[in-house]
Chain A
Amino acid sequence: MNRFLIPFGVFVVVVGFLAVGLTLNPRELPSPLVGRPAPDFSLPQLHDQGKVLSSNDLKGKVWLLNFWASWCGGCKEEHPVLIHLAQSGEVPIYGMDYKDTREEALTWLRQWGNPYLVVAVDALGRVGINYGVYGVPETYVIDKAGVIRYKQIGPLREDILQGKILPLVRELQNQ
């Protein structure tokens, strides 16, 4: 046995782990809220300040809640995925405009397109705190009984949508 090969052996093991590590996402934390009722909120709407979006109104259907902001780069990144999903009409997407100003948010939606059925305004981020938002964007799948079934931290990607979210949504809709 050549003892000069030991460093190489150790290195091979480390590289193996690093390679596995590449396929994992350290940000994909198990959220304590998954499986729990989604925190209630009742907030003014972005496009019509007189109206209110309340989580209670959404009981009975499966919906996505997407935290976003006009100042967030990741939101721009996931935006085409959301638009595509909205066009398919498979599941309603509700937006939560997080710590943002109304004008900038409206301009952003006008410029890039609006995938949301309704957008609520969480100007101070209080609802975000209840949902345990780390940073925007974050997306929650909420079932007919108002229970959080899945949480996506960071931008949505087409593969996550097709591989995880849509199958889950279909399953929940059939319940």
Chain B
Amino acid sequence: MIPEIGHYALILALCVSVVLGSLPIYGAAVGNSMLMSVAKPAARGQFLLILLAFCCLGYAFADKDFSVLYVAATSNSQLPLHYRLAAIWGAHEGSLLLWVFILSIWMVAVSFFSTHLPEAMRARILGVMGLVSMGFILFMLTVSNPFERLIPAALDGRDLNPLLQDPGMVIHPPMLYMGYVGFSVAFAFAIAALLGGTLDATWARWSRPWTTVAWCFLTVGVAMGSGWAYYELGWGGWWFWDPVENASFMPWLAGTALIHSLAVTDKRGGFKAWSVLLAIFAFSLSLLGTFLVRSGVLTSVHAFATDPKRGLFILVFLAVVIGGSLILYAWRAPRVGLGGGFSMVSREGMLMANNVLLVAALGSVLLGTLYPLFLDALDLGKISVGPPYFDTVFVPLMTPAIFLMGIGPLAQWKKASLPELATRLRWAFGVSLVTALALPLAMGQWTPLISLGLMMAIWIVTTSAVGLRERLAHADGSSLLGRLAAVPRAYWGMLLAHCGVALFIIGVTMVKGFEVEQDLRMNVGETATIGGYTFQFDGTQQYKGPNYIAARGTFRVSQDGREVTVMYPEKRRYNVQNQTMTEAAISPGLLRDLYVSLGEPLDDGAWSVRLYHKPFIDWIWGGCLVMAVGGVLAISDRRYRLAWRRKEVDVPAATQMARQTVS
């Protein structure tokens, strides 16, 4: 009964989305405010319906209702409750429901935080989002219904893929989808602006915070996916340039470019058409990612079970949504006009160069991801494109982008003077160059790439310091604290996000340059030493988990004769799918990770073992986190809080009075 209620709620949500996608947009076109006012309640109603569907599926999982095909396929009676709930998004059908659910959350958020927008704009935005959700709900109801029954019911379920039975996997997909789907807001703003012909600085001002929030979620989501690959796959790597990883990285690159281009549109009125195009790109790439993961067009470790009918549906959907928006763009954008002129040496110029580089990087990742498909389609053979290609194209594109990242924030708008910039930055440059050359030597190994990486990281930090110092010198306030407080949070956010990139680069550089890896056979009692740490293998014990049996190894780790930690890597065998999983043991640290994973059992209790010493690897994810915090700080800026507070004028006078009495 409960699954049928969920199914029914989805059908109703489809009906609501048809209304939401048509009436308000039509109303905005003809200026009928009654039709436009449908948007808000429809968006909220749709949220409630999808919430209901989502809860019904969650209930089916919690209740172990194996008469629901999807529940039987992705869970098992022995699976613990929290993983049963996470199994909602453990496979294709349920993750689509999560997609739509998150889309409806964003819609509700827009309906609440858009009271300052003109009614036509709001109606169009919600309408466009309604159209997108209509496509996805239709997709679910036609070829990917999560509520489909299995009659007679299975005795027990086939269990969740053991790779996904992990705390990281519980929150990674919702985070990632918050980011992916969040770009639908920027997309809807862009389409609404194109439809209404009101493509101006105000449009950029409104869509900026939404873009930044989505970008923050995506940053954390991608970082979590990378962290998951690091500790769960047991290969010790953190990024594999797998098609599905690329699918999440491409929207991130587009989103990053969009944030910077919107800044120009907001402040200077320039790059309008370009910002709109980027907003369309960011969301299109999210959709493309959905297509790549679910259509079976590319091989990937992440690919969902595939079905040609589903692939065809998403492709048609993709063609309609993206094709339609690009035609709309081609039709409307020529009338937008250009912003104010600027010289190449100016903040606009540098942000433009940064955008070109980011989009070029995006293009090269897209090309590398789709290249095997292109060749196969042209019957030129089967190949796979791997990390060597991506590393080769990525580093040369990012190096100048990061160099510009240091200068851009210091340059004046419109026209800056190159000699003057050079004078202001000579110390930053000198310090970066000298440290970058000397530091690797002090650490005992010098390669050009290590120096380059360190130089970029230090360059970001020193130029940020120069920028901050100049800001403080011009800020009002007598004390240093007062002047620090006078610096707007948006500026702090930018500095922090940029420094996050620096931390990230340090992590990557140090891991690439200094990691030590050993594959070896270890007998019980034997020791091995890497990176100054001695690992003693004390053998393995069998133990029984809720739905698996495991061999757990014990490694005593000591440094200079002192025991530092004990590590317990596992080799698990999951009962239902009879799949073995490697659970690496990781001892994290600010300056290094120790990483042990069990290979295969050999004779006499010996095992093949893989040991890693990975310096600074946690800085990779720490850097991403700092970037996201920077984003959060930026949207907590005064101007957004003011816009928020202005609304309180609408609050009934009695409440205001009450508040005053209390204070």
Contacts and interface: CB of A to CB of B under 8 A. Distances in A.
Q: Are A and B interaction partners? A: yes
Interface of A: 2, 4-5, 7-8, 11-12, 14-15, 17-22, 24-27, 29-30, 69, 71, 73, 99-100
Contact of A100 (B73, B334, B578): B578
Interface in B268-305: 273, 277, 280, 284, 291, 295-299
A26 B372 contact: yes
B297 A26 contact: yes
Given A2-B334, A18-B291, A26 B315 contact: no
A17, A22, A69, A73: most-surrounded residue (chain B CB, <10 A):
A22
A17 B323 contact: no
B299 A21 contact: no
B299 A5 contact: no
Contact of B382 (A7, A21, A22, A30): A30
B277 A18 contact: no
A99 B573 CA distance: 12
B319 interface: yes
B446 interface: no
Contacts of A22: 295, 297, 308, 311-312, 315
Given A18-B315, A20-B377, A26 B327 contact: no
Interface string B548-584: 0000000000000000000000000000111100000
A27 B299 contact: yes
B299 A99 contact: no
Given A15-B315, A21-B373, A24-B377, A8 B330 contact: yes
B330 A17 contact: no
Contacts of B323: 8, 11-12, 15
B475 to A, nearest CB: 42
Interface string B152-183: 00000010000000000000000000000000
A19 B277 contact: no
A14 B299 CA distance: 18
Interface centre among B318, B323, B330 (most CB of A within 10 A): B330
A29 B382 contact: yes
Given A15-B323, A26-B298, A69 B578 contact: yes
Contacts of B277: 7
Given A11-B322, A24-B377, 19 more contacts: A2-B330, A2-B334, A4-B329, A4-B333, A7-B280, A7-B330, A11-B326, A14-B370, A15-B318, A17-B374, A21-B297, A21-B298, A21-B373, A22-B297, A22-B308, A22-B312, A26-B297, A26-B376, A27-B299
Nearest to A71: B578
A24 B326 contact: no
Contacts of A24: 297, 373, 376-377
7 contacts: A4-B333, A5-B330, A15-B318, A15-B323, A22-B297, A30-B382, A69-B578
A29 B291 CA distance: 22
B143 to A, nearest CB: 14
Contacts of B318: 15, 18
A15 B372 CA distance: 15
A69 B578 CA distance: 10
A4 B330 contact: yes
Given A8-B323, A69-B578, A73-B158, A26 B370 contact: no
Nearest to A24: B376
A43 to B, nearest CB: 19
Interface in B311-355: 311-312, 315, 318-319, 322-323, 326-327, 329-330, 333-334
Given A7-B329, A11-B322, A26-B296, A17 B308 contact: no
Contact of A71 (B284, B308, B370, B577): B577
Contact of A17 (B273, B377, B382, B577): B377
Given A2-B330, A11-B326, A15-B323, A26 B295 contact: no
Contacts of B280: 7
B interface SS class: helix
Nearest to B332: A4
A8 B370 contact: no
Contacts of B329: 4, 7-8
B296 A25 contact: yes
Contacts of A21: 295, 297-298, 373, 376-377
Contact of A26 (B284, B299, B578): B299
A125 B211 CA distance: 51
Contacts, number: 77
A14 B576 CA distance: 41
Contact of B373 (A5, A18, A27): A18
Contacts of A73: 73, 158
A88 B326 CA distance: 53
Contacts of B308: 22
B382 A8 contact: no
Contacts of A99: 578
Interface in B491-542: none
Nearest to B384: A26
Nearest to A76: B158
B234 to A, nearest CB: 18
Nearest to A10: B326
Interface string B373-385: 1101100001000
Contacts of A15: 315, 318-319, 323
B505 to A, nearest CB: 31
Q: Name the residue in A8, A15, A21 with the highest tally of chain B Cβ atoms < 10 Å from its Cβ.
A: A21
Contacts of B326: 7-8, 11
A20 B374 CA distance: 9
Interface string B211-239: 00000000000000000000000000000
Nearest to A74: B305
Interface string B187-199: 0000000000000
B299 to A, nearest CB: 5
A7 B330 CA distance: 8
A74 to B, nearest CB: 9
A29 B383 CA distance: 10
Given A7-B277, A12-B323, A18-B297, A26 B333 contact: no
Nearest to B284: A11
Return the 9 tightest CB-CB contacts between A and B, nearest first: A71-B578, A8-B326, A20-B377, A21-B297, A4-B330, A5-B330, A26-B299, A21-B373, A22-B311
A148 to B, nearest CB: 19
A17 B318 CA distance: 13
B377 A71 contact: no
Interface string B359-379: 000000000001011101100
Contacts of B327: 8
A114 B424 CA distance: 80
A69 B370 CA distance: 34
Nearest to B576: A71
Contacts of A71: 576-579
A45 B334 CA distance: 74
B117 to A, nearest CB: 26
A52 to B, nearest CB: 25
Given A24-B377, A100-B578, A17 B370 contact: yes
A4 B273 contact: yes
Interface string B73-84: 100000000000
